[in-house]
Structure 1
Amino acid sequence: MGGFCKLGRIRDAKQLFFRMQACGQLPNSHTYAILLDGLCENQQLSEAIELLREMEDKKLEPNIVIYTILMEYLCKAGNVEAARNLFMGLSSRGLHANVKTCTIMISGFCNSGLICEAENLLGEMEEKGYSPNYVTYNTIIRGFLHNNEMSRAMGLIHQMVERGFCADASTMELIVDLLSKDKVDPALLPLIKRSL
């Protein structure tokens, strides 16, 4: 199934999924996750959500990985509200967000211009005891820069460097581009150099 999904042959993956069941091989959470990821990757989000509901109906209890997959693709498709609804419902399902899940939501919020929500989620991560990693920092910094929130981005860059993380290639490219257009404070350059 995974191979079919990677080749974009979703129909074949679904046929195999149904054939497994017809032969008495009941799919487990991992099998569902493979098909769900394939559906999402091939822009079939409504079918992916139906598959999630099927799992829930069969009492298979989707894990955080499955919800994270769906949230990521919903955010990429610009449906941040649906992703947020899944995210907000995690605790009622007995699940807890992790750093990756939060980073995906932060990215979705930033891409939708919901900067305050991204910043609030970053703060909630700290409160709940799971610290943002370098991916989280780079994601939110790029989001702030893309949304012309230069001073807030500067503060996060300071925080990132203090924690021993560095800017990734995408963040560096964006900062250098903004520096060349005089859109960010040149005082940022020594700080960025420290993070390399």
Structure 2
Amino acid sequence: MMSKGIAPNVITYTSLIHGVCKLGEWKEATMLLNEMVSKNIFPNVFTFSILVDALCKEGMVVEGEGVVEMMIQRDIEPDTVTYNSLMDGYCLRGEMGKAQKVFELMLSKGSVVNVVSYSTLINGYCKNKKIDKAVMLFLDMSCKGLVADTVTYNTLMDGFCKVGRIDDAQKLFSKMQACGQLPDVQTYSILLDGLCKNRQLSRAMQLFVEMEAKKLDINVVIYSILIEGLCIAGKIESARDLFCGLSSKGLRPDVRTYNIMINGLCIAGLTSEAEKFLIQMDEKGCSPDGWTFNTIIRGFIHNKQTSRAMVLIQTMVEKGFSADASTTELIVNLLSKDEVDPALLPLIKKSL
């Protein structure tokens, strides 16, 4: 454009800033912003909103606040997108008081408070387990004539599940459908996970059958949730059968699926089988992560198989992983009881 004498305008620069923000290149974004201003091309509300959104998503909320202040100084009124982005940034940091103030500021200024605004704040309260405040917002939203979308229902349902209010989650699931909002795979996975985590396996299985009947796209994530539910319920054989049957359904277990199965086996005391799954992961091209090694090492220690734990610690260190807080506590406990060969101390230090 420049070489052909075509002068870039605010849309050109805004598009470039959007692109570099997506890549996390903040210095480049700042340079572009300064460059456009130096050319008397002034950023508009869209330019600033893109910056605020990108900064807040990266946890750089203070910098996001700075951009909002810059907008106001230039007599550019932040819009709903700007405020929603800033509110989301506070929610991600758990600063719900500040997020609520932004929401109230929007109302006081007469800004358009939309479904996204409510969903953002509801999500923040749910993540911080302040479910009653989330419910109040949900009800307030309905009173103002705003129709909750699938994302809003999913968010509140997940909040109910996280605090163990499964009956409320199921009521919301029914209400959602009665209001004409069709649940998606994410909705079913949230409810299925909530039921499994709260030991409601029979209800979880009923929901899974319903998913099959509706011919929903049941992916490896859904099966992983169900496998974990079976493990939690102590039905390790059923979990293993479901895991081993994934390939017949055209699905490949990912590292999370393996970790769930390995954890279930270790809790059941089946450490040798868990180790076989570890070997199988490598063979199937699914690289184990730090969580995989830590889980089996803890399984060995809990089952008084200290020497096997030490061998796996060496493998873990060689793979570039280290012991997490739970594993470290168990290792320190072994050291305090002199249950570890002193010759292994250098290796243990590397793992911590």
Q: TM-score range by the shorter chain?
A: over 0.9
Among candidates 222, 227, 245, match of residue 71 of structure 1: 227
Among candidates 265, 268, 273, match of residue 112 of structure 1: 268
Alignment root-mean-square deviation, CA: 1.5
> Is the contact made by 2:313 and 2:351 (CA closer than 8 Å) also made in structure 1?
no
1:132 aligned partner: 288
1:129 Cα deviation (Å)? 0.8
The reply to whether residue 54 of structure 1 matches residue 210 of structure 2 is yes
1:11 aligned partner: 167
Higher relative contact order structure (alpha carbons within 8 Å, sequence separation ≥ 6): 1
Instruction: Give the total of aligned pairs.
Output: 196
The reply to whether residue 168 of structure 1 matches residue 324 of structure 2 is yes
2:340 aligned partner: 184
Distance 1:21 1:195 in 2: 51
Distance 1:108 1:116 in 2: 12
> Is the contact made by 2:294 and 2:327 (CA closer than 8 Å) also made in structure 1?
yes
1:29 Cα deviation (Å)? 0.7
Deviations 1:104-125 (CA, angstroms, capped at 9, x unpaired): 1111111111122111100000
1:180 Cα deviation (Å)? 1.7
Distance 2:186 2:201 in 1: 18
1:50 Cα deviation (Å)? 1.4
3-state SS of the aligned residue for 1:183?
coil
2:191 aligned partner: 35
Please, which runs of 5 or more residues in structure 2 have no aligned partner? 1-156
Deviations 1:147-169 (CA, angstroms, capped at 9, x unpaired): 12222211111111111111111
Amino acid at match of 1:112: A
Distance 2:232 2:335 in 1: 28
> Is the contact made by 2:185 and 2:216 (CA closer than 8 Å) also made in structure 1?
yes
Distance 1:78 1:183 in 2: 30
TM-score (norm 1): 0.93
1:42 Cα deviation (Å)? 2.1
> Is the contact made by 1:64 and 1:96 (CA closer than 8 Å) also made in structure 2?
yes
Moved more, 2-11 or 167-176: 2-11
Distance 1:81 1:12 in 2: 31
Distance 1:79 1:17 in 2: 27
Deviations 1:41-62 (CA, angstroms, capped at 9, x unpaired): 2221111111111111211032
2:252 aligned partner: 96
> Is the contact made by 2:227 and 2:243 (CA closer than 8 Å) also made in structure 1?
yes
1:122 aligned partner: 278
| Sequence identity percentage | 66
2:312 aligned partner: 156
Distance 2:259 2:313 in 1: 16
> Is the contact made by 1:52 and 1:62 (CA closer than 8 Å) also made in structure 2?
no
Distance 2:223 2:303 in 1: 27
3-state SS of the aligned residue for 1:53?
helix
> Is the contact made by 2:262 and 2:296 (CA closer than 8 Å) also made in structure 1?
yes
TM-score (norm 2): 0.53
1:82 aligned partner: 238
1:44 aligned partner: 200
Distance 2:210 2:301 in 1: 40
2:75 aligned partner: none
